[in-house]
Amino acid sequence: MYPHERSLVARLKDEPFALIGINSDEDLEKLKPTLAKENISWRSFWNGAKGTAGPISTSWGVSSWPTIYVLDETGTIRFINVREQKLDEAVDTLLAELKAKRADGK
Amino acid sequence: MLSKFALSLLAAAALGLSLDGAADVARIREEFRKKQADAAARSDAALTGGWLDTLWKAAADAKDDDARFGALLLAQQVADFGSTESCKEWRGKVREEILSRFADDAKRMGDLLRVAGTPQTREALLARTKNKSIQATCLWVEASGYLATLRREKLSEEAAKRLDELMALLRTDYKDELDSKGRRFGDVVEGKLRQMNDLVVGKVAPEIEGKDLDGAPFKLSDYRGKIVVLDFWGNW
């Protein structure tokens, strides 16, 4: 997953776009070398020391990883569990919509 | 009067027996693992029957409850695996032995549900156990089966009704019981219901407030006005 996320973030760095993680590792100290090595620059919430049983994933009912939601600029859920190419297409669709709305002055 | 020498011989024999029992269980566990993908082994009465006789004896001779439960748990798996009439009889016999000894033991019953949680065993355990946390686990395992089906297809009317019933029980009578990861069943069920009813295309995602990996607080709504990919991930 990391290379794909990295390229998405790099490609859209000047667009109104953000990749936000909810990280479910139990031990942040063990995770930190990976953040540097994999150049994980995007921001993540930490799900807490209970890992996959942490409060954010529990309240969202997440029981498989990764789980992905794509939200538009109003925070509305538009796509769920799209990956790779489909994820890129979903984000590009929403960015195009957003630009069209802004061009219309909405 | 037995001499000291005779006593030590007896002790060695007893020790030898229980060691042999443990060795038998380990050997059968290994053989069973190799045969699990082999459909022909299911109807091989000599194979499964031999294993079950040996495991039953190992359980009877076991030196402690850990060894006894280990032998019985493997026996339950073998009996559930086998398709012969004899295996069908063993299923009930082994299950009865496990439940009569361990039905209120949360850790062991968690293991039972995980590795040998057939509907029959789960229902028998639910009917037998007095431990509320085990009851909650039984209800949740049943609900999870329906939830897994629901991801692929629509539930029958009867199944949908049962799922509602299970979820309602878990978020009321059993809400404060803890699952194997230490979460309240009430929280687990609320999350699952939110995922099914509210975390769907067209609805606004709920707020997330928390801290980032450096400990700095932030909110999901800080990113309104942007397209957001929300990625539940872990490095494993």
Q: Quick one: CA torsion of A73, B201, A87, A32, rounded to 10 degrees? A: 70
Tell me the residue range of the domain where A87 lies: 2-100
A52 vs B223, B226, B234: nearest CB: B234
Q: Is residue B235 part of a domain?
A: no
Task: Give the C-alpha separation, B183 to A60, whole Å.
Answer: 14
A65 vs B193, B211, B232: nearest CB: B232
A18 vs B179, B195, B223: nearest CB: B223
> Is A45 in contact with A23 (CB distance < 8 Å)?
yes
Whether A22 and B233 lie within 8 Å, measured CB to CB: yes
Q: Is residue B124 part of a domain?
A: yes
Residues on chain A touching B228 (C-beta within 8 angstroms): 17-20, 70-71, 75
**Does the pLDDT at position B10 exceed 60?**
no
* pLDDT given for residue B114 in this prediction: 93
Q: Quick one: CA torsion of A79, A83, A89, A90, rounded to 10 degrees? A: 10
Q: Length of chain B in residues, anyone?
A: 236
Distance linking the first and last C-alpha atoms of chain B: 64
Q: Is residue B230 part of a domain?
A: no
**Does the pLDDT at position B13 exceed 60?**
no
Residue B30 touches chain A, beta carbons under 8 Å: no
CA distance A104 to chain B (A): 16
* pLDDT given for residue B2 in this prediction: 55
> Is B210 in contact with A81 (CB distance < 8 Å)?
no
Task: Give the C-alpha separation, A47 to B190, whole Å.
Answer: 17
Q: Is residue A105 part of a domain?
A: no
**Does the pLDDT at position B9 exceed 60?**
no
Q: Indicate the residue among B129, B163, B191 that finishes a domain.
A: B129
CB contacts < 8 Å between A and B, how many?
Answer: 165
Q: Is residue B119 part of a domain?
A: yes
Query: Considering its fold, how many domains does chain B have in total?
Result: 2
* pLDDT given for residue A3 in this prediction: 85
**Does the pLDDT at position B4 exceed 70?**
no
B138 with B50, same domain? Answer: no
Summary mean pLDDT of chain A: 94
Tell me the residue range of the domain where B76 lies: 18-35+44-129
> Is A1 in contact with B233 (CB distance < 8 Å)?
yes
* pLDDT given for residue B6 in this prediction: 62
* pLDDT given for residue A2 in this prediction: 83
Query: Considering its fold, how many domains does chain A have in total?
Result: 1
Q: Is residue B27 part of a domain?
A: yes
Q: Is residue A87 part of a domain?
A: yes
* pLDDT given for residue B63 in this prediction: 92
Report which DSSP code applies to B156. Answer: P
> Is A8 in contact with B229 (CB distance < 8 Å)?
yes
**Does the pLDDT at position B19 exceed 80?**
no
- Residue A37 sits in a domain whose CATH number is 3.40.30.10
> Is B143 in contact with B113 (CB distance < 8 Å)?
no
Interface pTM, i.e. ipTM? 0.96
B141 with B122, same domain? Answer: no
Task: Give the C-alpha separation, A78 to A94, whole Å.
Answer: 9
B136 pLDDT band, cuts 50/70/90, is: very high
B157 with B75, same domain? Answer: no
Task: Give the C-alpha separation, A6 to B178, whole Å.
Answer: 38
Q: Is residue B54 part of a domain?
A: yes
Task: Give the C-alpha separation, B203 to A76, whole Å.
Answer: 5
A2 compared with B217, residue with greater pLDDT: B217
B92 with B140, same domain? Answer: no
* pLDDT given for residue B176 in this prediction: 97
| A30-76 pLDDT, tens digit each | 999 999 999 898 999 999 999 999 999 999 999 999 999 999 999 99
- Residue spans of alpha helices (H) in chain B: 4-35, 39-42, 45-61, 65-81, 85-102, 106-116, 119-128, 132-152, 157-171, 185-197
Report the share of chain B in percent with pLDDT over 90: 88
Helix (H, G, I), strand (E, B) or coil at B191: helix
Residues on chain B touching A67 (C-beta within 8 angstroms): 231-232
- Per-residue pLDDT, averaged over B114-118, amounts to 94
**Does the pLDDT at position B138 exceed 60?**
yes
Residues on chain B touching A68 (C-beta within 8 angstroms): 229-232
B236 pLDDT band, cuts 50/70/90, is: confident
